[in-house]
Every structure is written in structure tokens, then in C-alpha cells.
Copies of this chain bind each other. A is one copy, B any other.
């Protein structure tokens, strides 16, 4: 996990399971569309991996507006997992992703969700036959219809079931994405048992904001997911907890906006990273962060820094 992959420029290259990334920085699911939206505004050579918007078997319309609201150093979103469905994805979105992969070496991971474990598996099976996709990322923050709408990610048993079903359906790389709402250690164990290659830590934290004049929630859907710098200490702590527990390779994220933020996640134990909300204000946030991270690393190899944070020395 921590030897720099062969044949790649050494300092920033990372290997995670079977994947080789030229840059540790990925674009987080739901914050980079299907890639094409960013064309011309991002330096693709700095994008190690692209995690697509969440994909379901059938197209989904998503929630009515307002869908987003800014909070203190963060934002809430309740987009409602709007997406074109498997068929629409293959017809309209995949061609550009193939081109990205071919021309820029961007690793493409499709973020999956469903309302039944079987739906995740069907999606993974369908994608398994397609060229131009390196793997999938399982989004567990979705209501499980068979469990009365409780999210897959709230129980180790369902997390295991989904991971195993996907693992059996695909030979490609499988990452499982956890929310800091946890219980992260149990879920991590379930994902490993289910055969995942890596964990993404992680998703947004449930949050709420209320318009006190109109006395209603700021989002049409009620609550939403908190992302951005406000989330960073929370996800960072989960990454370190997972790393110390000896988990699968970790893809870290949550509020990364600078090279120092990225390095914090690496020092806590992440091998690769996801940049989400920062892309909204700066479409080439990944390029900016890449340059800053390189400066912050100095002469060190990134892989030598993974999990290197200790307690502070006594004064």
C-alpha cells in the first residue's frame, strides 16, 4: 500500500489496492458531476481519480429546491441523488469519462446507490462489463427499503450485505464510503469482511438549518448533509481512528481546501483524498491543492507520510 507505484513520477503517486493514481487527489462524488461539466476549468493532470455523481439503476429526479444552504464554514445539501440512471449514464456520461481516462490517466470510479442490496449488485454487475471504469464506490448513506428506510450505513449487517453483493458482482475495485455518523469501526469491519478493497472516509454528516423568519427548514427536504471545512475535524478523526484500528486502505475527505488540509488527512492515515465542496468556489481546487501539497511535502514521498501523525511531544 505504501510503495510508490513503478513508472509514475514518485512523490505524489500512490497505489491503493490495485489502482495506481498519478495524484492522490480525487474529485468527490456529487461535486464534479460526470466530469464533462468541469472541462476547460480543471487541470486534469492533477486529478488522480474522479468519483462520479451517485448512480442508481433507474433515473432519479432528486429533491425540489432549495437544495443547498451555506452554514458556518460549511454547507448543507439535499440534492436527492438526482441522476440519469444506468442507461442514461452509459449513453451520455461514459464517453467523456473514457476520454478522460485515456487522455489524462484519470482513474474513474462510479459512485453507486440503491434502495436494496440487490440494486447495488445489479449496478456493479452491469458496470463490470464496461470498459473505461476502474471501479465502484458504494454510498451507504441511502435508505434501505427492506429495513424501513434506515440507511444502509447505520448497521454493520446491511453494510456487509451490500458490500458482499457488490464484491460478488464485480472484479473491479470496490471502495465503501462511510459517513462520520458512524458507527465507523463496525462498518469498516463489515466492509472488509464483505470484500471491499478500500474505505472512503468520508461522506457528509447529517445537519439542519432553519429559516427563523419563515420558520421552516432551509432545505426543501428538511435536513441535509454537512460538507466543507466545518466537517474536516470530524472526518479527520474518523480517518485516524480507522487507521489506528488497522483498516483497509483509506481514501480521506471532508472539507479539504488547501494543501495543509490534504496533508492532515494523509498524516492521519489516508492514502488518497477526495476534494468536494472546495471545487464549487474554485473549479480547479484540485490543481491549487496539488501545488500546495507538493510544497508542504518538501522532499518527502507522500506515501511515507501516511499515518505519520503522533501525539505532540511534551513541552
- Residues of chain A whose beta carbon lies under 8 Å from any beta carbon of chain B: 64-66, 71-74, 76, 154, 181-183, 205-212, 214-223, 226, 228-234, 236-237, 240, 255, 260, 263-264, 267-268, 296, 305, 308-315
Contacts and interface: CB of A to CB of B under 8 A. Distances in A.
Nearest to A262: B212
B315 A215 contact: no
A187 B73 CA distance: 29
Contact of A212 (B154, B226, B255, B263): B263
A71 B231 CA distance: 10
B312 A217 contact: yes
11 contacts: A64-B314, A72-B228, A72-B255, A74-B233, A76-B233, A205-B205, A208-B268, A209-B264, A220-B314, A223-B240, A230-B233
Contacts of A183: 154, 183
A212 to B, nearest CB: 4
A224 to B, nearest CB: 8
Contacts of A217: 309-312
In the A-B complex, the 9 residue pairs with the smallest Cβ-Cβ separation, listed nearest first, are: A207-B233, A72-B229, A230-B230, A208-B237, A73-B73, A72-B73, A216-B312, A210-B264, A212-B263
A223 B237 contact: yes
Contact of A220 (B233, B308, B312): B312
Given A210-B267, A296-B212, A229 B73 contact: yes
A250 to B, nearest CB: 14
Given A72-B255, A229-B72, A267-B210, A310 B215 contact: yes
Nearest to A221: B311
Number of copies of chain A assembled together: 2
A181 B183 CA distance: 9
A296 B214 CA distance: 12
A112 B209 CA distance: 30
A296 to B, nearest CB: 6
A202 to B, nearest CB: 13
Contacts of A264: 209-210, 212
A230 B73 contact: yes
B208 A240 contact: yes
Given A218-B312, A223-B240, A311-B216, A71 B210 contact: no
Contacts of A267: 210, 212, 215
**Most B CB atoms within 10 A — which of A234, A240, A311?**
A234
Given A65-B315, A73-B72, A74-B73, A206 B255 contact: no
Contacts of A64: 314-315
A289 to B, nearest CB: 13
A77 to B, nearest CB: 11
Nearest to A310: B216
A228 B220 CA distance: 25
B312 A66 contact: yes
Contacts of A232: 71-72
A231 B217 CA distance: 17
B226 A207 contact: no
